[in-house]
Structure 1
Amino acid sequence: MFVRAVYVTGDPAKLEAAIRGLNSEGRELLEERPEYRGADVLVDRDLGILLAVSWWGSEGARRNSDQVMRERRGPMLEPFAGTVAVENFEAAVFRSVQLPRAGGGMRYTRVEFDPADTDLFAETFRSSAVPRLEALPGFARCAVLVDRERGRGMVGSIFVDRASMAASRAGQAEARRADAAKAHVTVVGLEEFEVVHADVRPD
């Protein structure tokens, strides 16, 4: 699958308006597009951050959806959006063991790497991190998203509730250190979000 990630910051007091726009007009627009595979809406209510991720069956389908979404994105996110950043990725790893729930938690790790090590990064996560995550209470889904040309990506791990995500922090910190060294990646960002909506359908 292929992914478009929209990272938005703004006034926390105006966040709910943006969520409503994405969950109504935004979802309708996406569902009209060919090869749409679902979306995630994730928020940090305290800081005023919204992360909207749409999933596509092919790179062409994602690209073809860009124009209509680019034109409508601004009005949907008003008056919340202060800054908007859009990135495109390939889903190198996707593993789901149960459906995420609204109110759950997502840990988001941003990484950089030599583009030549993209496959090493994906395989290290698949062989080392996925089995470990699957054993954690409350684990729902994980994915590795990569930009092969620029050598950057993100790892997302979703838990069915915030308590399960919090309980995993210490163990995952140590695992992150070991896996980053093995995969030759540098961690450049770490955040946690509340799951508002998550309905990815891989096929």
Structure 2
Amino acid sequence: MFVRTVYATGDPAKLDTAIRALNAQGRDLLQERPGYRGAGIFVDRELGKLLAVSWWDSEEARRNSDEVMRERRPSLMEPFASTIAVDNYEVAVFHPAGRPVSGGGLRVTRLEFDPADADLLADTFRASVAPRLETLPGFTGTSLHIDRSRGRGLVGALFADRESLAASRSAQASVRQEGAAKAHVTVVGLEEFEIVHAEVWGTN
């Protein structure tokens, strides 16, 4: 599968307006597009950050959907967003272990790597990282998204509640350190979000 991420920052006091618009008009627009496989909305209410992720069964479906969403996105984000960044990734690994729930937690790890090491990263994550994450209390799933041409990646680890997310920090730090060394990647960002909504319909 393929994903598009929309990362917006703005006034925390206006964040709920964007959430309501994305959960209503935004979801309707996505569901009308061929190849749509689900979406998620994740927020940092204290700092005023919103991460929206949509899943697609092909690169073409993702690209075609963006023709519509590119026009509507600014109005959906008003008056919250002061900056909006859009990125596209291939889903290299999808490892569900439960059903994410509203109010749960997401930890995002941003990576950089030599494009020649993209397969090494995917293999390492699948064989070594995901199985260890699955042992963490409250863990409900993880995925690795990569941009092969630019040598950039994003790891998402989902937890059933904010307490489990917080309790996993030390253990995931150890997994992250070992995985980064094996896969020859550099960690360039680490963030945590509250799950507002998350669902993906299959991986085939």
Q: What interval of TM-score do these two structures reach, taking the shorter chain for normalisation?
A: over 0.9
| Residues 58-86 of structure 1: per-residue CA shift (max 9 Å, x gap) | 00000000110000001010000100000
Q: Pairwise mapping of residues 82-93 of structure 1 onto structure 2 (< 5 A)?
A: 82-93=82-93
Q: Pairwise mapping of residues 43-192 of structure 1 onto structure 2 (< 5 A)?
A: 43-192=43-192
| Residues 102-152 of structure 1: per-residue CA shift (max 9 Å, x gap) | 000000000000000001001101111111111111111100000000000
| Separation of aligned partners in 2, 1:195 and 1:13 | 18
Paired letter, 1:90: E
| Separation of aligned partners in 1, 2:108 and 2:177 | 15
RMSD: 0.6
Deviation, 1:202, is: 2.1
Unaligned runs of 5+ in 2: none
Paired letter, 1:137: P
Deviation, 1:91, is: 0.3
Deviation, 1:167, is: 0.9
Identity %: 66
Q: How many residue pairs end up in the alignment?
A: 203
Unaligned runs of 5+ in 1: none
Deviation, 1:10, is: 0.1
| Separation of aligned partners in 2, 1:27 and 1:77 | 13
- Spell out structure 1 runs of 4+ moving beyond 6 A: none
Deviation, 1:165, is: 1.0
Paired letter, 2:155: V
Helix, strand or coil: the match of 2:126? helix
Q: Pairwise mapping of residues 2-17 of structure 1 onto structure 2 (< 5 A)?
A: 2-17=2-17
| Separation of aligned partners in 2, 1:3 and 1:165 | 23
Paired letter, 1:78: E
Deviation, 1:96, is: 0.6
Paired letter, 1:167: A
